Amino acid sequence: MGKSSKDKRDLYYRKAKEQGFRARSAFKLLQLDEQFHFLDNVTRVVDLCAAPGSWSQVLSRRLFEDDPENAASKRIVAVDLQPMFPIDHVITIQADITHPKTLNKIMDLFEGEKADFVCSDGAPDVTGLHDLDEYVQQQLILSALQLTTCLLREGGVFVAKIFRGRDIDMLYSQLGYLFERVVCAKPRSSRGTSLESFVVCLGYKPPTNWKPHLDVNMSVEDFFQGCEIGRLTLDDKLPEYHEEARSIADFILCGGLDSFDSDATYHDIPANSITLDPVQPPTNPPYKRALELKRKGQLTRST
Amino acid sequence: MVLKARELSHYGPSICVKFHGDYVVAGYGVFVQVYEVLSGKLVNQSRVFHNNKVHGLCVENGLFLAYGARSVSVVPWQAILSSKDNSKLEKMCPEWVTSAEFSFDGSAVYLLTSYNKVLCCDLELEVLETRVVYGERAILYSGTITVQSAEKVHINAGTVMDGVFIWDLFSEKNLHHFTGHEGSIFYVTASKNGRFVASCSDDRSIKLWDLESGSLLSTGWGHTARIWNLQFFDNDTKLISASEDCTCRVWEVSQLTGQLTQTDVHEIHLSKNVWGLDVDSRRMIAATSGNDGRIKLTDLRLRTRAGDESQAFSIDDISRCRIDFAANEIVKGFFWLHFGLVVLTSEGQVLKYSDQNSVWSSIFQNQKFKSFSSTTGVQKLNLVVFSNGSGDVLIVKFSQDGTQVLNTLEIAVTELSKVTTCLVESFDGELFIALQSPNPRDALVCVKIDSAPLKLTEKYHLTRPANFNASSILYHDNFLLFGSKFSTLAIFNLRESETSAHVLNRLLPGDTITSVRFVEKSSNDRSLFSVTDREGFYCFVSIDLNNGDSDIVLENKISKGFLEGAFYDPSGDYITYGFKSNYFVMFNETRQFEIMSELCGGSHRQWLFLPNYDPNEFVFVYVKASRINIRKLHSSFVPQTLRDGLHGREIRDLTLRPASYNTRTHVFCSGAEDTTIKLNRIKESGEARTIWTFRKHTSGLQRCKFVSDQYLISSAAREELYLWKLCTDFKSNPYMSIIAVLPTSTKLPDLRIMDFDVKFIENSQDFILVTVYSDSAIKLWHFEHASQKFALIAIGKYETCCLLNVALIPLKETLLLLISPSDGYLVAWDVTKCLNINLRNGKLQDWKPNFSLMPILPDYATRVLVHRAGVKSLQVKSANGSSCLIYTGGDDNAVAISEFAVEEDELSIKGQVLSSDTAGAASTITAVNLLNGGKGLITASVDQRLRYYDVTKNQLTLQDVFYTTNADTGCLDVVSTATGSLLLIGGVGFSAWSLRDVKK
């Protein structure tokens, strides 16, 4: 698909370029916030798996441009394993979200105060093995969640990208133990044909007898031991197959019916309009060398 | 009453496959399938897990170990061979199991988890100890365990972000950290001899590492997509790789330098992803399994197994058999008989090659055939036919073993100024030779010859039709059929050879017809022929030979390359052959796999492809670099597939023909993300088989639906909508072809046709069609059967959003148009007046479009908010004459029943929601379907569950929930059977279920 046909097929792609966002996903956070107002009156926010940075851009606009008061005390920290281009008012850290050092760094930047809001729009590359892809995505969410439990204030909000697959109701159930309300929200800017949605967790309320503790030698499963969130407990004997706790979260469509439909084709592009270049050019894929070889005709069938 | 649901069959991703003695063992969804390798017989299918797919397995010391996701199980091997259900032994691991192996003495089991941790368990899966490299936390995409001895166990761990770790299980120390790859590591394995480690990653390369020094030995490039599996075989001298590019490749591993050299490429699976891979080094066969649900066996010695598969002879080689050649004498033509090859040279010398004793001999020389000669023959009659430019024809008949020339006959056809084409056919001991001159006014001269003894019995002068240049010939039942350039077929009645031919013009989109074959005769006396053209198209044409009346019942195109011919093999598979770039390729079109390929240099050289002795043996003879090459294909010593799958990508829609096809057999079509539409057959036992794979749509397939027993409509992106006609007149197979194409709004259409519906006009094959688009457009069309054309009759629009579903619902004297956009509403129009149509008791009366101005749909009559997001699926049931019930499933996880009714005054339409279950699933409900005459409703959702509701009181009462192995569950269809219903579910893979109401 060329740039201009993508403009027509995907209105949010075009809007993102017009408004200087690095990716169309910026609208997803904007529409989620429109529904839940979780970015009103927040001071310290963390954006996990932040690259290329469109959610950080939204956070920067909402916290600083829309509401310039108390700018001095406000902090936005964006974390990713990949390097990111700088964004106004955002402190970017290139680090692993599962590492205790990352937590310490963020807590230093917050001067010991806890965060009001943590979000993650991260997703792994899909392999095509649906069960593996779903598992890896849930591990990513749980990795984000374990860091979140260490730095979110009680009553704070956690938002993460999910794919509504086979075991999503197990995740809802687990999150239900840590938050007052768990909602599955789908912004209108997220395609109806995609399984993507966002889990919005409101009112953080950790169990009183549980102290989260990040340790480099602990898996996510180890981390949540002792915190009754309905996950398997580590035992000497592998348990027999049993159905695990599941619950269906409320579904909310965000962005209102008057906002644009990401699945619709729009024709209202002026005939003489210039096709804008993407704000953030695509990054180097790992298979760049293979593409070059293919282009040169060196990956052929003949041996 | 309760619904009894039983899964009959499943065709879907198979992630692992392994040889075990004379068995092939494959993970297939929640099952393990065991096949006999030589016969291909399914020995047993045993359920090992409740819900998780089997990702890996091993068999040792009479025990079977399976793992998949967080499930793991140790089962006696005998129980796998004999018991249908072993799922009670399933255990749950807290983390994803990446790999598992038995310990060296078989008394323990090692489970490698995705957190690079090994749980050492006893055979009851009690964790004895957990081993891990302290301070090193990695998340794995892949990993294997190499058990060298009781003391030496290595973990080969492929991480998501951080390359490959090789660590020692007992010392819990990292031995190596390989960081040479880019991206996630998708497979890593060690050779048995402990010298090498091979790994592959998102960078699409394979790297071979020295296990001792840790140095990178070589990098193998070749795959054009991600690589998922690697196995060393043949005493670690070779490596085989399987990839998303649907191929597996064999690499030579240099024992001296560790250099990887690609030696073979096998195209083995349908679009996207080969997961499972193993090699039986003793038999030299590879087993692969993939996303398409196919379990494939590939002979790695296809070209060398018998030893005579590939032979090549230069003139110098032949002259060593004491045959004299003139300077510059070259091979001009050849033909393959059962004893071997007969060759004609540029000096008119005739040679024979005995395949049995590998000896060349010269038979005779005939100066007349020095130049402009052609060589052909008839295998069944053991004779060859030489002809030249002046109309001389020489027939040479051999003894069965080829040692003697039994008979020769020379004929001179003097009527033609010049002969450029000689075509030969035979029937029942009679030989037909057709000669054609370049002058279009000349007749086509055909001689009939009795083969024993060789004697000319008849001569025909057939009048050539205009623009006719014969390229292929077929004799059938006193008719001669000639395929020609311009895709023309001429049919001559030999009983009345003076009358002109019946000519079928432009049978196919390509140019030269390369083959014509008779298939069968129907009960109503029509003959079915298979026709191919060089551009890759093929068709089946039903012809009344007496009057030339014809009907194309199927037209299709092979995926790539030039088509030289096609035929049904003895098992009923349609086999095509032709050229693909530099290769000659033989392909099983029915089951969609390559049978063999030969790097011959392409189609522009002299070549010949014929059966050899047995109907499953073939020979391909060609000249390359001045050598005669003889490539034989013997019948395969193992089955080529153990299980055929369906689509390699997500199935987007499924549709069952309302009427059954045969007793307890149905046909259904499936349309998938790979853009193909498949016509399949399914028995009520669940056994399914694809018959045709159509490559007509080019992108974004949305829907396919039978609108009657005869017609099917499919729609896709780029405003593609095709009307297909199903033909069930023939025994060989059902056939299907496009009879009309919907006009597009622009030359470069970019809209998706999301859905459509049809209402037939009473007592007519004409119908009204409605289509809805991704830009919120609604279009109404009239299909006229006589002209086979669609005419646009009205246009409309709803807000600005994507329209997902549409239905045309007749209510008394009103025609209701109902749509479901992505905003969650159901929106209704009364289109009766606007179209100026007449309905009587809900039946559309005789009607033809007659407007001076194209009608535009008025504002909608009413709309009801039913869902909080897009409606994914919609079913209609007429309640009584004036109202209808609408069953919907949505992206909001909800399922609902709504009612739309025409008021008494026939002037207004009212709609309301009767019942709604907002937690109808944990994720998107993609399909809803009524069962049991509308008493039950079944829903399918992406959480891989089927839910069955009682809807008798127009309320949703959940009765039962069933799990389906098909991920991305996206569509279902139901048909009634004698005992209940047959339900088909599509997603990544496909399942058939039997549904029956039983008394409590």
Separation CA B289–CA B897 (nearest Å): 42
Kindly report which listed range (A254-258, B263-267, B268-272, B917-921) carries the lowest average pLDDT score. Answer: A254-258
B231 touches chain A (CB under 8 A): no
CA–CA distance from B862 to each of A95, A246, B637, B867, B868 (Å)?
A: 55, 38, 66, 16, 18
Nearest to B870 among A127, A192, A221 (CB): A192
Whether A206 has a pLDDT exceeding 60, the answer reads: yes
CB-based contacts of B420, cutoff 8 Å, min separation 6: B372, B389, B436, B437, B438
Closest by CA to B969, choosing from B872, B868, B824, B871, is: B872
Separation CA B601–CA B480 (nearest Å): 34
A269 touches chain B (CB under 8 A): no
Please give the pLDDT value at position A9: 64
> How many percent of chain B have pLDDT more than 70?
100
pLDDT category of residue B1000 using cuts at 50, 70 and 90: low
The secondary structure of residue B966, as a DSSP letter, is -
Q: Which two tokens stand for residue A231?
A: 């996950």
Please give the pLDDT value at position B716: 96
- Is B953 exposed, middle or buried (CB count within 10 Å of its CB: 0-12, 13-18, 19+)? exposed
CA–CA distance from B433 to each of A26, B382, B410 (Å)?
A: 74, 15, 12
Residue among B133, B943, B947, B962 with most chain A CBs within 10 A, to mutate: B943
3-class SS of residue B191: coil
Separation CA B297–CA B300 (nearest Å): 9
Closest by CA to B978, choosing from B680, B682, B664, B667, is: B664
Partners of A9 on chain B (C-beta within 8 Å) are: 750
> How many percent of chain A have pLDDT more than 70?
87
Closest by CA to A6, choosing from A144, A15, B291, is: A15
Give me the residues of A, 115-154, that contact B with CB < 8 A: 124-125, 127-132, 135-136, 139
pLDDT category of residue A209 using cuts at 50, 70 and 90: confident
Whether A189 has a pLDDT exceeding 70, the answer reads: yes
Long-range contacts from B781-784, C-beta under 8 angstroms, 24+ separation:
B781/B742, B782/B847, B782/B848, B782/B849, B783/B723, B783/B740, B784/B848
Give A99→chain B minimum CA distance, Å.
Answer: 10
Whether B907 has a pLDDT exceeding 80, the answer reads: no
Separation CA A216–CA A231 (nearest Å): 20
Partners of A130 on chain B (C-beta within 8 Å) are: 967-968, 988
3-class SS of residue B734: coil
Give B350→chain A minimum CA distance, Å.
Answer: 35
Whether B270 has a pLDDT exceeding 80, the answer reads: no
pLDDT category of residue A10 using cuts at 50, 70 and 90: confident
Partners of A263 on chain B (C-beta within 8 Å) are: 774, 801-802, 822, 870
CB-based contacts of A209, cutoff 8 Å, min separation 6: none
Name the pairing type of β-strands B735-741 and B721-727. antiparallel
Whether B935 has a pLDDT exceeding 50, the answer reads: yes
Note the maximum CA span of chain A. Answer: 69
Nearest to A286 among B117, B119, B203 (CB): B203
Name the pairing type of β-strands B537-544 and B549-557. antiparallel
Partners of A173 on chain B (C-beta within 8 Å) are: none
Q: What confidence tens digit (pLDDT) does each residue in B431-483 have?
A: 999 999 999 999 999 999 999 889 999 999 999 999 899 999 999 999 999 99
Cα dihedral B960, B965, B969, B973 sign: negative
CB-based contacts of B3, cutoff 8 Å, min separation 6: B931, B936, B948, B959, B960, B995, B996, B997, B998
Whether B495 has a pLDDT exceeding 50, the answer reads: yes
Please give the pLDDT value at position B997: 82
Whether A280 has a pLDDT exceeding 80, the answer reads: no
Whether B496 has a pLDDT exceeding 60, the answer reads: yes
Please give the pLDDT value at position A217: 75
Separation CA B183–CA B163 (nearest Å): 8
Give the amino acid at B970.
Answer: G
A71 touches chain B (CB under 8 A): no
Q: CB atoms < 10 A from the CB of A251, how many?
A: 24
CA–CA distance from B484 to each of B14, B376, B526, B532 (Å)?
A: 45, 18, 22, 11
Whether A11 has a pLDDT exceeding 70, the answer reads: yes
Whether A271 has a pLDDT exceeding 60, the answer reads: no
Please give the pLDDT value at position A42: 94
Nearest to A221 among B94, B182, B943 (CB): B94
pLDDT category of residue B922 using cuts at 50, 70 and 90: very high
Find, in chain B, the residue whose alpha carbon is nearest to that of A303. Answer: B263
Is B127 in Cβ contact with A235 (below 8 Å)?
A: yes
Consecutive H or E run containing A291: helix A288-295
Q: What confidence tens digit (pLDDT) does each residue in B238-257 have?
A: 999 999 998 999 999 999 99
Q: Is omega for the bond preceding A282 within 30 degrees of 0, making it cis? A: no
A299 touches chain B (CB under 8 A): yes
The secondary structure of residue B696, as a DSSP letter, is -
Whether A302 has a pLDDT exceeding 70, the answer reads: no
3-class SS of residue B405: strand
The phi and psi torsions of B40 (rounded to 5 degrees) equal 80, 5
Residue among A238, A242, A293, A294 with most chain B CBs within 10 A, to mutate: A238
Mean pLDDT of B698-722: 96
B271 touches chain A (CB under 8 A): no
Q: What confidence tens digit (pLDDT) does each residue in B580-635 have?
A: 989 999 999 999 999 999 999 998 889 999 998 788 899 999 999 899 999 999 99
Please give the pLDDT value at position A281: 53
Partners of A128 on chain B (C-beta within 8 Å) are: 244, 272-273, 291
Residue with tokens 């909608």: B860
Q: Which two tokens stand for residue B940?
A: 């399918």
Whether B217 has a pLDDT exceeding 70, the answer reads: yes
Mean pLDDT of B540-557: 96
3-class SS of residue A167: coil
Whether B225 has a pLDDT exceeding 50, the answer reads: yes
Give me the residues of B, 136-195, that contact A with CB < 8 A: 137, 139, 141, 160-161, 181-184, 186
Query: Which CATH number is A6-296 given?
Result: 3.40.50.150
Rg of chain B in Å (alpha carbons): 33
Mean pLDDT of B655-679: 95
Please give the pLDDT value at position A1: 43
Separation CA B485–CA B472 (nearest Å): 10
Given a contact cutoff of 8 angstroms between Cβ atoms, the answer to whether B981 and B973 are in contact is no
Residue with tokens 């014809």: B550
Given a contact cutoff of 8 angstroms between Cβ atoms, the answer to whether B8 and B686 are in contact is yes
Rg of chain A in Å (alpha carbons): 21
Q: What confidence tens digit (pLDDT) does each residue in B805-852 have?
A: 999 999 989 999 999 999 999 999 999 988 989 998 889 998 888 878
Residue among A171, A221, A263, A284 with most chain B CBs within 10 A, to mutate: A263
CA–CA distance from B731 to each of A14, B567, B944 (Å)?
A: 55, 16, 38
Given a contact cutoff of 8 angstroms between Cβ atoms, the answer to whether B12 and B966 are in contact is yes
The secondary structure of residue A61, as a DSSP letter, is I
Closest by CA to B226, choosing from B209, B207, B212, B206, is: B206
CB-based contacts of A179, cutoff 8 Å, min separation 6: A158, A201, A202, A203, A204, A205
Gap between the terminal Cα atoms of chain B? 5
Mean pLDDT of B752-762: 96
Q: CB atoms < 10 A from the CB of B911, how many?
A: 22
A–B interface: beta-carbon pairs under 8 A = 211
Nearest to A236 among B127, B183, B944 (CB): B127
3-class secondary structure for B773-796?
Answer: ECCCEEEEEEEECCCCEEEEEEEE
Q: What confidence tens digit (pLDDT) does each residue in B18-60 have?
A: 999 999 999 999 999 999 999 999 999 999 999 999 999 999 9
Closest by CA to B437, choosing from B391, B490, B370, is: B391
Mean pLDDT of B987-1000: 89
Note the maximum CA span of chain B. Answer: 102
Given a contact cutoff of 8 angstroms between Cβ atoms, the answer to whether B690 and B644 are in contact is yes
Partners of A294 on chain B (C-beta within 8 Å) are: 224
Given a contact cutoff of 8 angstroms between Cβ atoms, the answer to whether A238 and B125 are in contact is yes
The secondary structure of residue A62, as a DSSP letter, is I
Separation CA B714–CA B712 (nearest Å): 7
Closest by CA to B32, choosing from B7, B55, B60, is: B55
CB-based contacts of B627, cutoff 8 Å, min separation 6: B312, B313, B314, B317
Is A248 in Cβ contact with B919 (below 8 Å)?
A: yes
Confirm whether residue A121 is marked as ligand binding. Answer: yes
Q: Which residues pair with B551 in a beta bridge?
A: B542
3-class SS of residue B69: coil
Whether A276 has a pLDDT exceeding 70, the answer reads: no
Is B96 in Cβ contact with A263 (below 8 Å)?
A: no
Q: What confidence tens digit (pLDDT) does each residue in B378-399 have?
A: 999 999 999 999 999 999 999 9
3-class SS of residue A15: helix
Given a contact cutoff of 8 angstroms between Cβ atoms, the answer to whether B715 and B675 are in contact is no
Q: What residues does each domain of chain A span?
A: 6-296
Q: Which residues of A are catalytic?
A: 161
Question: What's the gap between Cα B591 and its chain centre?
Answer: 5
Confirm whether residue A55 is marked as ligand binding. Answer: yes
Give the amino acid at A133.
Answer: D
pLDDT averaged over chain B?
A: 94
